[in-house]
Structure formats: structure tokens, C-alpha cells
């Protein structure tokens, strides 16, 4: 079977609503410098290949691939851009190593969401141009419709969704890199202005700028570089139907399938017993619940109880989004998944400071690409 692959270096900038003091290149450079320092590698001599996650219209540049190699130390090396979630980028780096092609690969993702002045228009530009886009609706309506169906099909309530928001923003109080820490009550979330019923403004994550770089290495190379390599035990990704007219509205099939693939590889049969904590996409409050179910932590429709009973709190049986998630850290566009991975690696290394969990051996990170997509990726990480 394939070679094993570990994460041996992480670097990230703090996440914040604006970042006028640096350009996107400078933001990426800072995260890269930190990651290479953490891994103890020289990017010019040691890193063999680089993977960047980006989408043209989020950068305002066509063929953004042009603009990545210099600030990552990647010139005149293999580089590729993956227009996907950060964990799709991680999977690419994983495969490049597992195939035997390279021993050390870096993966980068970033957000300069603050620089996109018309983000809802840009998101609308991702919708089917003939069938859906002419409605000229703010694309958050897709999340509203999905939440309606999810609440209808499951036992979950708006209150339980609001509990997710309160938890994640509270967790972010312990994360110095987070952009949106807050001490909110469930009522505060429920009573916020409507965004797209049943979503309120507080059910949705706000954007942040930031960059994350991870360094991956193969087998013995990983062991020689790091005292605490964090192994990629399993990785999986999946797309459900893209079409609004054929997708499964109440269920996150993409997460079910991505999770199955990752678990199969990691040999995980019972996620709740075998996984100690999770960093799971929470772009919207209900998404954390929907994704928890899809990833097999409870039967379909039951995740609301986990939130309500505190099972996913820091002291619960499955702490979820201890970092604060996207609701607390800020939504980093397609870098959100890589943020989740970086946070999980810190927990497994025991470097999570005031939010450190005890006795964690195995963690899960899951990223979703946001509306209007049905695209997600999961990774099981272990010591």
C-alpha cells in the first residue's frame, strides 16, 4: 500500500476582518515563513512541490496560479493550484507524496475576503447561469432553503443551531488568532436580524482574512524532521449533485461520502468512539449539525441533541470546533478547511494553549466549499 504521510509543519497568520497592512503575497509569505520554520525545512532546497488553493474570482485575477510561487519559495519547482477546499489541496499534496513522486510538499490556502467588494455577486456567479442565476437573488437563499429542509427532516431546532453559534464563538475567546470571539447566548442568536429565514445574521459566519501553510512529508523523512509528526490516517472528498434541482437538500451527502472514504482508509468503524475531537465546517450554524450527522457521529437527524446536551462542548465527549470554527475564527473562504486542519494539528501536538484538550489521539477535520456547492473534504489525523 501507499507510503504514510504526515504533517510536519504548520504556519498561519492571525485571522481578522481586514488586513490592510499587507498584500495577499505578503500575507502568504508570513504563513509560509512560519510553516517552514516550524518544520525546520528550507523551502528553496527541501520543499519539492507546492500546492495552493485558490479561485480566480475570489482573487480578482484570472489564472491566479501565476501569482503564487515567489512568496512560497516555490519558483522553478512543481506548483499547482487546486480550486477546491483547503482539504482538497491537502489531499493533492498527500497523493503527490503517496505516489512516490516527492518526499516533502507544502500546501497553502488564504483568504483576502475583505478585498472582494461584491462577494454576494461573485457567489451568485457560481450558480447555474441559465436556470438559477437569472433569479438575481442573494445566494445565501440556498443556505436558507437547505436549513428549512434540514430542520424539517431532522429533529434539530433553531435553538439547537443557535447553541452551536454560542459554543463556537465562546470557544474562540480562547483562540488568540480568532476574529469573532463573543460571549453570546442562544437568545442573542435567535433574536438577531433575519438573513434568510430560518437563518439569522448570527447563524452565519462572517468573513476574515488570513493564510495557512502546511508542510507534509513522507514516512522516515517526517520522522527525521519532527518529534511529533501528525499522520494523515485517512482522507476523502466528494461532490454531490451540483444542480439545485437534483441535490439532496436535507442531507449533506458530500460529507457522508467524503467521511466514508476517509474512515475506510483510516480503518475507523465507529467515529464517535475512535475520534476524540473534530474541526468541522460551520459556515452556518446548522451546517455543523448536518455535517456531524453526515460524518457518522450520530444517527441522521439527531445532532441537535449533541449540541443541546453539551456533548460537543470543550468538556463533552466529542469537542467540536474548539478553535472557534468559522463562526468564531471568521470564514476564510476556501482556506477554512486548511484552518481546521491546522487547528487540529495543534491539538494533537498539545500546542493549543488555553484551549488544549487532554488525551487526544485522533482528530477529524472537514471542509465544505460553501453555497452554492455540494463539495466537501475530510481528513482523519492521528499522532
User: Using CB under 8 A, which residues numbered 223 to 262 contact another protein?
Assistant: 236-246, 249-250, 253-254, 257-258, 261
Lay out the site mask for another protein across 27-66 (x = CB under 8 A, - = otherwise): x-xx--xx-x-----xxx---x------xxxx-xxxx-xx
Q: In this complex, which beta carbon is closest to another protein, that of residue 55 or of residue 308?
A: 55
Binding-residue total with another protein (CB under 8 A): 125
What's the rounded Cα separation, in Å, for the pair 183 and 52?
35
Tell me: does residue 217 bind another protein (CB under 8 A).
Answer: no
Q: Tell whether residue 206 is a contact of another protein (CB under 8 A).
A: no
Query: Interacting stretch for another protein, rule CB under 8 A, among 15-23, 159-167, 175-183, 289-297?
Result: 15-23
| Binds another protein by CB under 8 A, chosen from 17, 128, 176, 228 | 128
Nearer to another protein, 251 or 349 (CB): 251
Q: Is the dihedral of CA 21, 23, 29, 31 positive or negative?
A: positive
DSSP string, 119-183: HHHHHHTTS-TTTTGGG---THHHHHHHHHHHHHHSS--HHHHHHHHHHHHHHGGG-TT-S----
Q: How far is the CB of 299 from another protein (least distance, A)?
A: 21
Q: What is the distance between the alpha carbons of residues 34 and 29, in angstroms, rounded to a whole number?
A: 9
Contact 252, 368 (CB under 8 A): yes
Sequence-ordered list of residues with C-beta below 8 angstroms from that of 172, at least 6 positions apart, any chain: 178, 180, 181, 182, 323, 324, 325, 327, 328, 329
Stretch that binds another protein, among 1-9, 184-192, 313-321, 339-347 (CB under 8 A): 1-9
Pick 198 or 296: Cβ nearer another protein = 198
Q: Which is nearer to another protein, 240 or 293 (CB)?
A: 240
Site for another protein in 353-382 (CB under 8 A): 369, 372-375
Q: Which of residues 80-99 bind another protein (CB under 8 A)?
A: 80-84, 88, 91-92, 94-96, 98-99
CA 66 to chain centroid: 24
* HSE-CB for 15 with a 13 A CA cutoff: 35
Query: Which residues are CB-contacts of 162 (< 8 A; sequence separation ≥ 6)?
Result: 186, 187, 189, 190, 202, 203, 285
Closest to another protein by CB, 167 vs 331, is 331
By the rule CB under 8 A, 331 interacts with another protein: no
Cis peptide bond N-terminal to 348, omega within 30: no
Contact present, 250 and 149 (Cβ < 8 Å):
yes
C-beta of 148: minimal distance to another protein in Å? 5
Nearer to another protein, 46 or 282 (CB): 46
What is the CA 105 to chain-centroid distance, rounded?
19
Beta bridge partners of 277: 363
Does 7 contact another protein by CB under 8 A?
A: no
CB closer to another protein out of 181 and 250: 250
Query: Where in 283-322 is the site for another protein (CB under 8 A)?
Result: none
Name which of 267, 312, 59 is nearest 167 in CA terms. Answer: 312
Rounded to a whole number of angstroms, the minimum distance from the CB of residue 188 to another protein is 18
* Near another protein by CB under 8 A: residue from 126, 161, 255, 278: 126
Tell me the three state secondary structure of residue 223. helix
Nearest residue (CB) to another protein, 145 versus 314: 145
> What's the closest the beta carbon of residue 297 comes to another protein, in angstroms?
21
CA angle 360, 349, 181 (to 5 degrees): 85
Nearest approach, Cβ of residue 316 and another protein (Å): 30
Whole-Å CA distances, 2 to 48, 98, 100, 129, 298 = 19, 5, 8, 41, 31
Site for another protein in 134-173 (CB under 8 A): 134-138, 140-141, 144-149, 152
Q: Which of 109, 112, 156, 273 binds another protein (CB under 8 A)?
A: 112
Amino acid at each position: 500500500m501507499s507510503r504514510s504521510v504526515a504533517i510536519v509543519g504548520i504556519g498561519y497568520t492571525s485571522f481578522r476582518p481586514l488586513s490592510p497592512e499587507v498584500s495577499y503575497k505578503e500575507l502568504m509569505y508570513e504563513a509560509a515563513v512560519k510553516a517552514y520554520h516550524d518544520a525546520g525545512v528550507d523551502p528553496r532546497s527541501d520543499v519539492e512541490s507546492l500546492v495552493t488553493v485558490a479561485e480566480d474570482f475570489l482573487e480578482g485575477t484570472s489564472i491566479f496560479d501565476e501569482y503564487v510561487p515567489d512568496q512560497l519559495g516555490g519558483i522553478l519547482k512543481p506548483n499547482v493550484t487546486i480550486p477546491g477546499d483547503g482539504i482538497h489541496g491537502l489531499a493533492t499534496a498527500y497523493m503527490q507524496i503517496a505516489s512516490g513522486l516527492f518526499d516533502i510538499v507544502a500546501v497553502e490556502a488564504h483568504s483576502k475576503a475583505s478585498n472582494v467588494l461584491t462577494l454576494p455577486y461573485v457567489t451568485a456567479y457560481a450558480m447555474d447561469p441559465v436556470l438559477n442565476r437569472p433569479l438575481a437573488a442573494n445566494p445565501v437563499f440556498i443556505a436558507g432553503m437547505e436549513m428549512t429542509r434540514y430542520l424539517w427532516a431532522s429533529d434539530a431546532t433553531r435553538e439547537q443551531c443557535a447553541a452551536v453559534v454560542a459554543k463556537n464563538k465562546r470557544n474562540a475567546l480562547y483562540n488568540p488568532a480568532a476574529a469573532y470571539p463573543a460571549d453570546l447566548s442562544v437568545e442573542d442568536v435567535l433574536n438577531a436580524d433575519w438573513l434568510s429565514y430560518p437563518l439569522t445574521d448570527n447563524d452565519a459566519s462572517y468573513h476574515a482574512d488570513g493564510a495557512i501553510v502546511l508542510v507534509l512529508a513522507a514516512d522516515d523523512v517526517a520522522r527525521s524532521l519532527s518529534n511529533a509528526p501528525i499522520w494523515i490516517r485517512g482522507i476523502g472528498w466528494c461532490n454531490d449533485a451540483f444542480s439545485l434541482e437534483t441535490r439532496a437538500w436535507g442531507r449533506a451527502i458530500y460529507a457522508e461520502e467524503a467521511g466514508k472514504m476517509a474512515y475506510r482508509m483510516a480503518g475507523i468503524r465507529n467515529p464517535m468512539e475512535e475520534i476524540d475531537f473534530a474541526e468541522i465546517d460551520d459556515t452556518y450554524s446548522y451546517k455543523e449539525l448536518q455535517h456531524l450527522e453526515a460524518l457518522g457521529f450520530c444517527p441522521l437527524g439527531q445532532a441537535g441533541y449533541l449540541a443541546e446536551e453539551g456533548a460537543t462542548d470543550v468538556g463533552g465527549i466529542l469537542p467540536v470546533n474548539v478553535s472557534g470554527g468559522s463562526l468564531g475564527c471568521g470564514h476564510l473562504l476556501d482556506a477554512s478547511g486548511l484552518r481546521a486542519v491546522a487547528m487540529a494539528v495543534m491539538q494533537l501536538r498539545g500546542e493549543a494553549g488555553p484551549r488544549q484538550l487532554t488525551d487526544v489521539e485522533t482528530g477529524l477535520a472537514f471542509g465544505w466549499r460553501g453555497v452554492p456547492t455540494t463539495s466537501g473534504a475530510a481528513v482523519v489525523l492521528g499522532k
